[in-house]
Amino acid sequence: MSEEIWDRGLQSERTRLAWVRTAVTLATGGLGATGLAARAGLPLPALAAFALAALCGAVLLIRTGVRFRRVQQALHGGRPLDNGADALLAWLGTLAVVAGALTFVIAVR
């Protein structure tokens, strides 16, 4: 019995790469923004928001491998996919960036 590729278009592999890009962007952007905010003397809420974005990105990056295996198993088993926790982390990280940027704009005025 030969092992067949599940989806010939490699959709789940492309989706995994998209999650990796999102995670790396949140992690590196959050770290960079935290460093810049600390040097600029911004208030603690801005630092905390950017640090939260970096943390969400790091957790997402760690979870990408596990998520990919779960998706493959669900596809092969005919079960529904669950993106709940990962999507929540991505949203939380994005909202943290927005909150940090808003705090930055208000503080610079």
Q: Above 90 in pLDDT, residue 27?
A: yes
User: pTM to 2 decimals?
Assistant: 0.76
Taking the domains of the chain in order of start, what are their residue ranges? 23-108
What are the angstrom distances between the C-alpha of 106 and each of 28, 72, 97, 103? 23, 45, 14, 5
DSSP character string of 37-100: HHHHT--HHHHHHHHHHHHHHHHHHHHHHHHHHHHHHHHHHTPPP--HHHHHHHHHHHHHHHHH
For tokens 């940027």, what's the residue?
101
Closest CA to 108 of 49, 15, 46: 46
pLDDT in tens, 45-69: 889 999 999 999 999 999 888 888 8
Q: What is the mean pLDDT of the chain?
A: 84
